[in-house]
Amino acid sequence: MATEQHSPEILSSGAGLAAAVAVEAGTALGEFEPVRARGYWEQVWLRLQRDKVALGGGVFIVLLFLGAFIGAPVAARLLGHGPNDQFAGGVDPHSLLPVGPWAHFVNQPYPGAAGHFGSVFFILGGDGQLGRDEFLRLLYGAQVSLEVAVGATVLSMIIGIIMGAIAGYHGGWIDTIVSRVTEIVMAFPLLLFIIALASTVGDRLDNITLGFLGKGVLTLVLVLGCFYWFYPARIVRAQVLSLREKEFIEAARMIGASDWRIVRSHLLPHLVAPIIVLSTITVAQFILLEAGLSFLQIGIKAPTASWGSLLQTGPDYYLTQPWLMVWPGLAILLTTLAFNLLGDGLRDAFDPRSSR
Amino acid sequence: MRPAGGVSSAFDLERSHMHRKLWLSAVMAALGALLLVVAGFAHAASSSAAKKGGTMRLNMSATDVDFSDPSLAYGTISWQIEYATGLKLLNYPDKAPPLGSRLQAEAAAGLPIVSNSGKTYTFTIKRGLRFSDGSAVTAKNFKWAFDRSATKAQQSPATAFMDDVVGYTKAVDGNKNPAHVPGVIARGNKLIIKLTQPDGGLLAKLAMPFFQAISLKTKVDPHGVTAYPSAGPYYIASRVVNRHITLKRNKFYRGPRPHNIDTFDITVNTNLDQSLLQVKSNQIDYDMGGLPSTAHADLAKRYGLNKGQYQVHQLVETDYVALNTSRPTFASAKLRKAANFAIDRPAMLRVRGAFAGKRTDQILPPNMRGFKDAKIYPLKGADYKKAKSLAGSSCKGVTLYTATSPTGQNLAQVFKYNLSQIGCDVNVKSFVGFAIYTAAGTKGEPFDAALVGWNQDYPDPYDFMNILLDGNNIHADNNNNLAYFNVGRVNKLLASANRLTGPARYKRYGSLDVTVSKNYAPWASYDNRNMREFVSKRTGGYLFQPANASADLDTFFIK
């Protein structure tokens, strides 16, 4: 019986000119199976699947987003209190130190108060002498950290891509100006600027919440986004400088494509991979930066919970309640690690020459 | 029965009684003498135990002093230093309570001669007193303290205390630099102070550091001098603002006050937690800036309460939220009362840690003469129901001033949370150290509430009621009336209370405290604080000086 001869199926990559066409041979000699050309993104996904550590990082990030934006309000509803609610019972009446993990107490306004009061449960104990729920603050802190990090990353990428693409594509005096501006921004003393901003217009800026952000989130997004675009700008500029000399750009130019069309349809698809990799690493950097600024009390304003502010109260209790340093420290460590691992994995996945 | 015999025997019996009494008296006298000798030896032994010399390393965590200038210094820590460096006409001795709260002559040869009218005080200045630069202390140096403080350019907070001195207020209002106060006259070794009306509190006021002997070389300086010659046991040898202060022993000091340590090296603006570790490990001997609020329970457990290294002593002090009556938010007494019902006093006190003090809802501290416990506002927690009924929907935005310290930040969060329950949105602005007093003390500063405290300058209710709530005391800056409370009727009542003396004075002030707290509520008082201090193992001679409200640096020695 004649075996059916399948012709190799070549599929469109869907990723424009950036797609690599791959034809894979059958598994056994003499046996012909339908060979399908895998798209660029499919190959990336396949390579990423092989990197279990990076996948683990990705899963952790997904869970973190779910925990922060869905889990936090659900937990607050189940526990019956919010992250900023203060409880007398959240502090030990004798030592006046926060209660430890897995603490149940009666919600009395003061010890020995008459009447019937409901009970309160703190999973990770109190957050300090104000008697707030450390667990809820950690979850809501994740919201803030992610909002700042993702928001600032998006903003810095947008500015960086625009500046880098303009500089790289046009070259000449435009490139010179953009490059000098980039260097000035790189050399800008950001920390001092943030301190100055906090002590001058910080209060007014912090009050802009757009109805859904915590106080201070927008300020940090703007400040970090506007001062960290130099890194993507330099990478994009370098990529565009090399790409603009390629034949497919020349061909596009010859058929009369406009500059905007060339950049949008022919250059940007080539930049997707480095931008995604850089973004994941930048998110991790911004999480650390937000924690650092809140630790220095120039980031997110109290009582809004953030990992940095939670970490800041920890050292007060390092002898008696060391876990108060452990929870936020662990959250920051695992999150930055997850983003970095995912970034590393993505870089390898986007690289066809990668050993993985 | 023979009367003679009887007499005789009775006489004998009486004689034998006499003998026994004589013996007993002799034995008791001998015992008394022995005890005196032992006490003398013990005193000598303790004196000899107080080793002389050496350098003590101190920290001043989370703050610097407000000023080191004697005419400007007005904080508890700066007064702790001024107590060690200043020589006053009258002063509180380096003793524990109650002796430490009793005034005695220091530079004055004795108590002043007071005229029959009670309006002229004549002091005789002791001879042989010297500043740390070797120059002699004379009556002119005390007169200079008055003139310097009255000079407008100096902007001294002392001006609030001496308006009864002839020509003082006029000098303050004038533009003469330096000012001349005609009511203070230096004649030879006599200092004459003339008053417009009798002032029962004058002697206590003279014991404030503002009126210590000031060298004529110390010129008027609105920014405050940092290092200058002084005539007390120590002097400020150097000061780098926000960094370092060095106190050195005044080698010309011949007075009776102790002065064991040669040099105090004070590092300013250190970290509280790190500083505590340093004191525990004897790297630092004492932190003038206090202790982390979370450390007290553990310190008491490990070192015992008042058994040596860890000391807790009651202050004559009130911590309060000044509600700025000059701004629209708290212009209404109703909303101020609502704030008083809304604040959770136990939570405010908890923030300060263990042994912090007691809750209060009044202006005068309970250990101030005249205090009457009135139970006006809830001490056991917030009463949001009552607060809401008073506030209605009138509370919108509140700008709160607080300190940058962890305690200041936590207090602000309690206040913010409490007021949010009655619909107020509290915006917190933080200040380092004493900067909050400079900011809030400036008239027109845009704040609605400030978390502050007041420790007595001298033991009289005038120092709380008139100094902090008399509307006539409101100036362009350096104000102590941080509520900017100015009610004509209350001003008159305060002035009339000040004219009284003895029990009537204290009774009137006690009633005024209740009236003002209950009807006007310019403050939301929340606690009367304790002073909690911790010294290194090698530190000897710890003494809580009650009038000074802190450890006495003069008595310190290295074991």
Its ipTM equals: 0.78
Element (H or E) spanning B99, and its range?
Answer: none
| A137 touches B: beta carbon within 8 Å | no
Residue B416 has its nearest CB partner, among A207, A303, A319, at A303
| Rounded CA separation B263/B256 (Å) | 19
CB B104 within 8 A of CB B111: no
Cross-chain residue pair B273–A316, CB shorter than 8 Å: yes
Would you call B292 and A297 a contact, using CB atoms and an 8 Å cutoff? no
Question: A131–B410: do the CB atoms touch at under 8 Å?
Answer: no
Angle at A224 between CA A219 and CA A226, to 5 degrees: 95
Q: Which residues of B483-495 are buried (b: 16+ CB within 10 A; e: fewer)?
A: bbbbbeebbebbe
CA of B381 to nearest chain A CA: how many angstroms apart?
6
Beta bridge partners of B116: none
Per the model's pLDDT, the better-predicted residue between A257 and A28 turns out to be A257
- Single-letter residue type at B35: L
> Each residue of A152-199: pLDDT tens digit?
999 999 999 999 999 999 989 999 999 999 999 989 888 888 888 877
- The encoded tokens of residue B554 equal 């003069």
**Does the distance separating the beta carbons of A317 and B347 come in below 8 Å?**
no
At B264, is the pLDDT very low, low, confident or very high (cuts 50, 70, 90)?
A: very high
Contact A129 B353 (CB under 8 A): yes
Chain B residues with beta carbon closer than 8 angstroms to that of A96: 293-294, 296-297, 350, 353-354
To the nearest whole angstrom, how far is the Cα of A203 from the nearest Cα of chain B?
A: 8
Q: How close is the nearest chain A Cα to the Cα of B323, in Å? A: 21
Nearest residue in chain B measured CA to CA from A97: B294
**Tokens found for residue A248:** 């497919």
Q: What are phi and psi of A92, to 5 degrees?
A: -65, 125
Question: Are B294 and A203 in contact (CB < 8 Å)?
Answer: no
- A 267-296 residues inside an 8 A Cβ radius of B: none
Cβ-nearest to A97 among B294, B382, B430? B294
Contacts for A206-211: CB closer than 8 Å, 24+ residues apart:
A206/A301, A207/B427
Position A21 pLDDT exceeds 70: no
Mutation to test the B interface, candidates A96, A99, A309, most B Cβ within 10 Å: A96
* Chain B residues contacting A via beta carbons under 8 Å: 273, 292-294, 296-298, 344, 346-347, 350-351, 353-354, 380-382, 404, 406, 409-410, 412-414, 416-417, 427-430
Q: CB B347 to CB A130 under 8 A?
A: yes
A9, pLDDT greater than 60: no
Task: List the structure tokens of A273.
Answer: 């991979």
Q: Give chain B positions within 8 Å (CB) of A130.
A: 347, 351, 410, 413-414, 417
Band of the pLDDT at A7, cuts 50, 70, 90?
very low
| Rg of chain A taking only CA atoms, in angstroms | 26
B312-351 pLDDT, tens digit per residue, is: 999 999 999 999 999 999 999 999 999 999 999 999 999 9
AA identity, residue B327: R
DSSP string, B480-541: S-TT----HHHHHHHHHHHH--HHHHHHHHHHHHHHIIIII--EEEEEEEEEEEEB-TTEE-
pLDDT digits (tens, 9 = 90+) for B195-205: 998 888 899 99
| A97 in contact with chain B, both atoms CB, cutoff 8 A | yes
Residue that wins the pLDDT comparison between B173 and A197: B173
What is the pTM for the complete model shown? 0.81
Q: What region does A126 belong to: left with phi over 0, alpha with psi -120 to 50, or beta? A: beta
Average pLDDT for chain B: 90
Q: In three state form, how does the secondary structure of B440-454 look?
A: HCCCCCCCCEEEEEE
Residues 6+ apart with CB under 8 A from B362: B318, B371, B373, B374, B376, B513, B514, B517, B525
Interface test with B, best of A81, A209, A316, A324 (most B CBs within 10 A): A316
CB pairs under 8 A between A and B: 77
Average pLDDT of the segment spanning A2-11: 42
Mean pLDDT of A14-34: 48
By C-alpha distance, the chain B residue nearest A84 is B417
Give pLDDT, residue B441. 94
| Model confidence band, residue B357 (pLDDT cutoffs 50, 70, 90) | very high
Of all residues in chain A, the one with the smallest CA distance to B429 is A203
A131 CB neighbours in chain B (<8 A) are: 347, 350
